[in-house]
Structure 1
Amino acid sequence: MIHGIGTDVCDIRRIEATLQRRGDRFAEKVLGPNEIHVFRDRRAKAEKRGISYLATRFSAKEAFSKAIGLGMRMPMTWRACEILNERSGKPVVRLHGELADWFEARRLTAHVTVSDESEYAASFVVVEKNSTPE
């Protein structure tokens, strides 16, 4: 059964401007421990790739927060929710701490997709409630 659906469109130029104004502190606020490494690696290779990565993660976390119905209120925090990639490239949601406990207690599962073009990043999240305990 679907628990919630969230979507978000993010202007990559806005993320770039915020990063220029606030520096790496902005990325460190938004990205979790695994994501920050990917961001730095991509940015070192090509500035635009790093910025696009940050924008897709920002967008996906916004979409996830909408799908779970909390918005950016506890236990939902930027760093407690990571959008990582499987070896195949498929994006997946990985949760930490109180958010992971909250999510698991409700027997929820999340599915995420992200996309970006030159100026925009978009994300879509579907959160399902598992009908039987695992």
Structure 2
Amino acid sequence: MIYGIGNDICDVRRIQASVQRHGERFAARVLGPQELTVWRQRSQRWPQRGIRYLATRFSAKEAFSKAIGLGMRTPMTWRDCEILNHPSGQPYLRLHGALKAWFESRRLRAHVSVSDESDYATSFVVVEQQTVLTAS
């Protein structure tokens, strides 16, 4: 059963301005530990690629917060929600701490899609609630 749907579009230029203004502190506030490692690696090779990565993660976390109906309120936090990639490139969510406990207690499962093109990053998240089957 669908629990919630969220989408978001993010202006990559806004993310770039935040990084220019606040430096790595902005990325460290938005990204979880594994995401931060990937961001640093991508930023070293090609800074614009790092900005796009940060923008897609920002957008996906906004979409996820909408899909679960909390917005950016506890237990939803930027760093407790990571958008990682399988070896195939498919994005997935990894949750931590109180957000993970909240999510699992409701038997939720999330599907995420991210994309970026020139000046915009966009994300779409579908959250399902798994039903408990009872024996008849």
SS in 2 for 1:26: helix
- Looking at structure 1, the residues matched to 4 and 39 of structure 2 have their Cα atoms a distance apart, in angstroms, of 28
- Which of structures 1 and 2 has the bigger CA Rg? 2
Query: 4+ residue runs of structure 1 moved beyond 6 angstroms?
Result: none
- Looking at structure 2, the residues matched to 47 and 7 of structure 1 have their Cα atoms a distance apart, in angstroms, of 26
Q: TM-score, normalised to structure 2's length?
A: 0.97
| Residue in 2 that maps onto 1:95 | 95
Q: Do structure 1's residue 51 and structure 2's residue 68 form an aligned pair?
A: no
**What displacement does 1:132 show?**
1.9
Note the residue ranges of structure 2 that are not aligned, 5 or more in a row.
Answer: none
Aligned pairs for 1:1-134 within 5 A: 1-132=1-132
Tell me the amino acid that sits aligned with residue 34 of structure 2: N
- The number of aligned residues is 133
SS in 1 for 2:53: helix
- Looking at structure 2, the residues matched to 130 and 87 of structure 1 have their Cα atoms a distance apart, in angstroms, of 26
Tell me the amino acid that sits aligned with residue 52 of structure 2: S
SS in 1 for 2:89: coil
Tell me the amino acid that sits aligned with residue 55 of structure 2: A
SS in 1 for 2:121: strand
Note the residue ranges of structure 1 that are not aligned, 5 or more in a row.
Answer: none
Alpha-carbon RMSD: 0.7
**What displacement does 1:35 show?**
0.1
Tell me the amino acid that sits aligned with residue 94 of structure 2: R
**What displacement does 1:114 show?**
0.1
- Looking at structure 2, the residues matched to 64 and 31 of structure 1 have their Cα atoms a distance apart, in angstroms, of 14
